């Protein structure tokens, strides 16, 4: 629900204007460590889904705080498209994704292949592939499988690994990188 005041502006609209201005004025950071430690005033996530046809380009963090309404939108965007189940995603994973994106210095949005997975979807995928974990962090809202046309799997994995903040899986044959906010580890080729 959007509250529109007598001046015709909604709170969300004003935040959007502020966020857009902050994006233009924001400094560029040379590594993700500073960004993940709160050195940045804004954090932005850009993705599209070939499965649903949806896209998202939003500021989800301003001046040291997550924006709850925006996080809800990102949660919905990253839902299990097979079942339409929505889960609360761990915002730390958005931080890793945003920091890696910034490190790669690209304007292209991520293509989201998989965000949240319901247990039913995870079990179905596991029955078809040995590469799907039984207790996948996707089911806990802590992981995303992503692709960029302009960057290789190796480049994406290197950027995500530089964040030193979670798991990074390389899936070169399928052309995507898994990023999660679980234990720091890496796999794949």
| Structure tokens belonging to residue 165 | 């903040």
More confident residue, 59 or 6: 59
Chain segment 79-112, per-residue pLDDT in tens: 999 999 999 999 999 999 999 999 999 999 999 9
Per the model's pLDDT, the better-predicted residue between 158 and 129 turns out to be: 158
In a domain, 173, yes or no: yes
Residue 130: per-residue pLDDT? 72
Does the residue 52 lie in any domain?
yes
User: What percent of the chain clears pLDDT 70, i.e. is strictly above it?
Assistant: 79
Mean pLDDT of all residues in 160-176: 95
The average pLDDT across 151-163 equals 96
**Residue 151: partners with Cβ closer than 8 Å, 6 or more residues away:** 104, 106, 159
pTM: 0.78
Say how far apart CA 180 and CA 160 lie, in whole Å: 9
2 belongs to a structural domain: no
- Higher-scoring residue by pLDDT: 2, 184: 184
Structure tokens at 187: 């796999």
Residue 1 included in any domain: no
Q: Is residue 68 part of a domain?
A: yes
- Say what the pLDDT of residue 96 is: 96
Give yes or no for residue 167 having a pLDDT over 70.
yes
- Which of 113, 115, 59, 65 has the alpha carbon at shortest distance from 86? 115
Instruction: Judge whether residue 74 has pLDDT over 60.
Output: yes
If 0-12 CB within 10 Å is exposed, 13-18 middle and 19+ buried, where does residue 142 land?
buried
- Per the CB < 8 A criterion, the answer to whether 64 and 36 are in contact is no
Is 163 a member of any domain? yes
> How do residues 16-73 score in pLDDT, each as one tens digit?
544 444 443 333 333 444 555 544 589 999 999 989 999 999 999 998 899 999 999 9
187 three-state secondary structure: strand
Give Cβ neighbours of residue 105 (< 8 Å, ≥ 6 apart). none
CA dist 43 and 99 (Å) reads: 8
Q: Which residues form the domain of 180? A: 11-188
Cα separation of 170 and 177, whole Å?
5
**What is the CATH classification number for the domain harbouring 37?**
3.30.1380.10
**Summary mean pLDDT of the chain:** 84
Is residue 70 situated within a structural domain?
yes
140 with 159: CB under 8 angstroms?
no
Residue 25: per-residue pLDDT: 37
| 40 secondary structure, DSSP code | -
Q: Please, are residues 100 and 166 in contact by the beta-carbon 8 Å criterion? A: no
Task: Report the range of poorest mean pLDDT among 32-36, 95-99, 138-142, 163-167.
Answer: 32-36
Which of 19, 48, 57, 172 is closest to 115 using CA atoms? Answer: 48
CA-atom Rg of the chain in angstroms: 17
Res 184: pLDDT = 95
């Amino acid at each position: 629900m959007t509250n529109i005041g007598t001046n015709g502006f909604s709170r969300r609209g004003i935040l959007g204007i502020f966020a857009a201005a902050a994006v233009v004025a924001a400094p560029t950071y040379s590594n993700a460590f500073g960004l993940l430690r709160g050195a940045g005033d804004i954090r932005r996530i850009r993705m599209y889904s070939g499965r649903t046809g949806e896209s998202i380009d939003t500021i989800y963090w301003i001046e040291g705080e997550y924006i709850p309404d925006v996080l809800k939108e990102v949660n919905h965007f990253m839902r299990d498209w097979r079942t339409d189940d929505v889960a609360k995603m761990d915002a730390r994973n958005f931080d890793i994704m945003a920091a890696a994106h910034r490190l790669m210095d690209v304007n292209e949005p991520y293509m989201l292949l998989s965000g949240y997975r319901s247990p039913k979807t995870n079990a179905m995928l596991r029955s078809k592939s040995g590469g799907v974990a039984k207790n996948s962090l996707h089911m806990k809202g802590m992981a995303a499988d992503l692709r960029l046309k302009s960057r290789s799997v190796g480049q994406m994995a290197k950027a995500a690994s530089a964040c030193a903040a979670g798991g990074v899986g390389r899936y070169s044959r399928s052309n995507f990188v898994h990023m999660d906010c679980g234990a720091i580890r890496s796999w794949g080729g």
